[in-house]
């Protein structure tokens, strides 16, 4: 690696050639303030908060885009720099609706934090005619857009374009009238938005947030005529602790369960159970297509953001999608049928809630094909963030709680179900079951490490039952597009594909706790959160294969018959729409 010598605040450092001043300052353990910058996603020098002074430059430069050079001298904290940053903050504040006390991002707002650090005067500059309040865009079932708080950092635009390859929103108009919005004055619901929420976790302020459904849940809990049950997706336990000050990568399952019971839910369950059920249905569907000449490659369907993306951008490939509902929807369907009977409940009195890391699940709740007997499988989907707010508002001391266990009769989930939340996890879980079915024997080694990791696209091939099965895994819909185009033009020959809408999988979902850029730029949240799931799989769970889960076996024996049976199709499978653009 070529190195260059630079001076930062008078101290000499050797840093890699070609990096930016912002990256070089990390070698000096100096964090330069930013608002618009997200590493590898949005490096545009727009907010002008990362200004520094360097030798040979005319005036101050934006550290996030200015490359280092040998012999460069960098100053990061002169009076001139501090004054410029403060002025730029005050200019940003002048165009920002400052209702901080009632803002959903209060105390977790990057602009608020910087304004306090630099003692910026929020009223130093007058906003003028543009200060008139604009209407919220509440058209989406998942996402609310509030341009009154938008600071034009374009992080949301970059996430939508670069990570997801969609471009549902972008900069419209010019100059003083610039705003972030869909093209042609559309509302978000009328675009090809897939509700993934990556724009939300990228936003540094409160201009984007999920549609809050917590009051629906609280009202149901307060209604004595309702039985309110909740199931928790694997990825929620990997991140809920972040809402209460824990480091990313902390497994907070026990405290999460205890908090949910304290909130008053009548049943608190582990969605690993229906992750296992999904594998039984999906692996059987895959084997059936292989044996009977069905449509291949089979593509997973548990990510509703990905499913909607496929319907918009690859409608011709909706026939490749597995017809399986997602684990969220399967849980509601089984709970309002099989378990309602077991518990002596009238399904009409059940309010079924899911706790999920995903804003697209809110859209999925209302999709066609997600109900049975006139009842929605899931009544309300709340994100990890919403769950954190419910716990906090109830006055529950999360850190002080003793760990609790999920409720019977569905407390058992396999390691295969646990890893569903990480990219490659669904594929690995399916392979564990498919391998044993095809080989007709049990395997001690069940780790398919080739499909693990946070790379955007992964390939692997396995010899199963004398047949070579070629698989692919993609996360982030921009990567999904590359993979599917390669399948269509013959570049990639695969039989089974896992796709998740969010980069890194559900652990990095749009409903997870929001971390500021200083964390996102320096920690791979995808990897540290996923480590919780792999640790659970390897060390904490008795069963590591979905078909070994005794509760799953019992449901088939007593109720469904066998995977892909007529009854299973009625309850656990769905259909898709060729939406197009």
- Complete DSSP assignment for 239-280: HGGGGGTPPTT---HHHHHHHHHHHT-SEEEETHHHHHHHHH
DSSP one-letter code for 232: E
229 shares a domain with 201: no
DSSP one-letter code for 431: H
Q: What is the DSSP string of 65-89?
A: TPBP-TT-EEESS-HHHHHHHHHHH
Between the CA of residue 344 and those of 73, 336, 347, 551, 571, what are the distances in Å?
Answer: 75, 11, 9, 18, 19
Q: Supply the pTM of this predicted model.
A: 0.95
Domain contains 490: yes
Residues of the chain with pLDDT > 90, as a percent, come to 86
Residue range 440-465: average pLDDT? Answer: 90
Domain contains 580: no
Other CB atoms closer than 10 Å to residue 5's CB: what's the count? 13
Domain contains 48: yes
Q: What is the DSSP string of 141-187?
A: SSEEE-TTS-----HHHHIIIIITS---SEEES-GGG-EEE-GGG--
Residue range 271-276: average pLDDT? Answer: 92
367 shares a domain with 283: yes
Residue 318 has pLDDT above 70, yes or no: yes
Tell me: the pLDDT tens digits for 475-503? 999 999 999 999 999 999 999 999 999 99
Residue 412 has pLDDT above 80, yes or no: no
* Closest listed residue to residue 380, CA positions, set 234, 213, 224, 218: 213
Question: What percent of the residues of the chain are helix, what percent strand, and what percent coil, each to the nearest 5?
Answer: 45, 15, 40
Domain contains 195: yes
435 shares a domain with 385: yes
Here the CATH number for the domain that contains residue 76 is 3.10.20.740
pLDDT at residue 401, as a whole number: 98
Residue 128 has pLDDT above 70, yes or no: no
pLDDT at residue 352, as a whole number: 98
390 shares a domain with 251: yes
Domain contains 102: no
Residue range 548-577: average pLDDT? Answer: 94
Looking at the DSSP bridge assignments, the partners of residue 267 are: 229
pLDDT-derived band at 10, boundaries 50, 70, 90: very high
314 shares a domain with 455: yes
Residue range 544-573: average pLDDT? Answer: 93
Structural domains in the chain (count): 3
pLDDT at residue 410, as a whole number: 61
410-426 burial, b if ≥16 CB within 10 A, otherwise e? bebbbbbbbbbbbbbbb
pLDDT at residue 442, as a whole number: 82
492 shares a domain with 371: yes
Domain contains 119: no
44-54 burial, b if ≥16 CB within 10 A, otherwise e? bbbbbbbbbbb
180 shares a domain with 223: no
Tell me: the pLDDT tens digits for 31-41? 999 999 999 99
pLDDT at residue 325, as a whole number: 97
Domain extent at residue 83: 3-91
Domain contains 532: yes
Q: Which residue has the higher pLDDT, 282 or 539?
A: 282
pLDDT-derived band at 28, boundaries 50, 70, 90: very high
- The answer to whether 3 and 15 have CB atoms below 8 angstroms apart is yes
pLDDT at residue 126, as a whole number: 79
Cis peptide before 261 (omega within 30 of 0): no
pLDDT at residue 437, as a whole number: 81
Rounded to the nearest 10 degrees, how much is the dihedral formed by the CA atoms of 411, 432, 419, 527?
160
Residues of the chain with pLDDT > 70, as a percent, come to 98
pLDDT at residue 411, as a whole number: 58
The phi and psi torsions of 425 (rounded to 5 degrees) equal: -70, -40
Q: Which residue has the higher pLDDT, 247 or 409?
A: 247
Q: What is the DSSP string of 361-407?
A: HHHHHTSTT-EETTEES-SEEEEHHHHHHHHHHTT--GGGPPP--PP
pLDDT-derived band at 2, boundaries 50, 70, 90: very high
Task: Tell how strand 457-464 and strand 11-16 pair up.
Answer: unpaired
Residue 409 has pLDDT above 80, yes or no: no
417 shares a domain with 359: yes
Domain contains 125: no
Residue range 564-577: average pLDDT? Answer: 96
pLDDT at residue 467, as a whole number: 82
Interatomic CA distance for residues 271 and 360, integer angstroms: 17
Residue 132 has pLDDT above 70, yes or no: no
Residue 549 has pLDDT above 90, yes or no: no
Q: Which of 209, 232, 253 is the last residue before a domain boundary?
A: 209
**Mean pLDDT for the chain?**
94
């Amino acid at each position: 690696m070529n190195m260059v010598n630079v001076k930062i605040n008078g101290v000499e450092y050797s840093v890699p050639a070609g990096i930016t001043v912002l990256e070089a300052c990390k070698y000096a353990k100096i964090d330069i303030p930013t608002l618009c910058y997200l590493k590898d996603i949005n490096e545009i020098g727009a907010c002008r908060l990362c200004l520094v002074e360097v030798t040979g430059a005319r005036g101050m430069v934006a550290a996030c885009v200015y490359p280092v050079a040998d012999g460069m001298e960098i100053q990061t904290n002169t009076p001139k720099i501090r004054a410029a940053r403060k002025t730029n903050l005050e200019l940003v504040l002048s165009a920002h609706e400052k209702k901080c006390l009632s803002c959903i991002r209060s105390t977790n707002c990057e602009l608020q934090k910087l304004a306090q650090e630099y003692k910026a005067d929020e009223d130093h500059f007058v906003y003028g005619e543009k200060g008139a309040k604009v209407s919220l865009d509440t058209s989406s079932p998942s996402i609310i857009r509030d341009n009154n708080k938008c600071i034009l950092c374009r992080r949301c635009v970059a996430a939508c374009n670069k990570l997801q390859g969609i471009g549902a929103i972008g900069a419209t108009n010019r100059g003083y009238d610039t705003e972030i919005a869909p093209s042609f004055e559309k509302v978000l619901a009328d675009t090809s938005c897939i509700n993934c929420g990556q724009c939300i976790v990228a936003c540094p302020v409160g201009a984007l947030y999920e549609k809050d459904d917590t009051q629906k849940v609280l009202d149901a809990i307060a209604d004595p005529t309702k039985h309110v049950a909740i199931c928790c997706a694997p990825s929620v336990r990997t991140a809920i602790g972040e809402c209460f000050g824990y480091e990313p990568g902390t497994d907070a399952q026990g405290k999460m369960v205890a908090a949910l019971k304290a909130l008053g839910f009548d049943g608190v369950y582990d969605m690993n159970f229906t992750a296992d059920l999904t594998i039984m249905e999906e692996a059987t569907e895959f084997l059936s297509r292989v044996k009977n000449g069905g449509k291949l490659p089979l593509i997973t369907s548990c990510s509703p953001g990905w499913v909607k993306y496929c319907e918009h951008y690859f409608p011709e490939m909706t026939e490749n999608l597995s017809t399986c509902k997602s684990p969220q929807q399967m849980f509601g369907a089984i709970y309002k049928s099989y378990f309602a009977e077991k518990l002596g409940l009238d399904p009409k009195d059940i309010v079924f809630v899911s706790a999920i890391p995903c804003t697209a699940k809110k859209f999925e709740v209302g999709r066609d094909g997600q109900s049975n007997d006139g009842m929605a499988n899931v009544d309300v989907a709340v994100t990890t963030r919403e769950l954190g707010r419910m716990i906090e508002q109830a006055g529950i001391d999360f850190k002080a709680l003793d760990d609790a266990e999920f409720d019977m009769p569905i407390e058992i989930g396999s390691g295969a179900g646990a890893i569903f939340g990480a990219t490659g996890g669904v594929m690995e879980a399916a392979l564990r079951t498919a391998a044993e079915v095809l080989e007709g024997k049990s395997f001690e080694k069940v780790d398919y490490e080739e499909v693990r990791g946070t790379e955007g696209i992964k390939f692997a091939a396995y010899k199963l039952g004398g047949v070579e099965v070629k698989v692919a895994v993609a996360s982030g819909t921009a990567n999904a597009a590359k993979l599917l185009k390669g399948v269509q033009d013959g570049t990639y020959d695969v039989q089974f594909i896992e796709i998740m809408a969010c980069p890194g999988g559900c652990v990095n979902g749009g409903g997870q706790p929001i971390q500021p850029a200083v964390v996102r730029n320096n920690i791979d949240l995808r990897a540290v959160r996923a480590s919780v799931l792999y640790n659970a799989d390897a060390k904490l769970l008795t069963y590591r294969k979905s078909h070994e889960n005794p509760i799953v076996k019992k449901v088939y024996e007593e109720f469904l018959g066998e995977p892909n049976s007529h009854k299973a199709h009625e309850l656990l499978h769905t259909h898709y729409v060729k939406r197009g653009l």
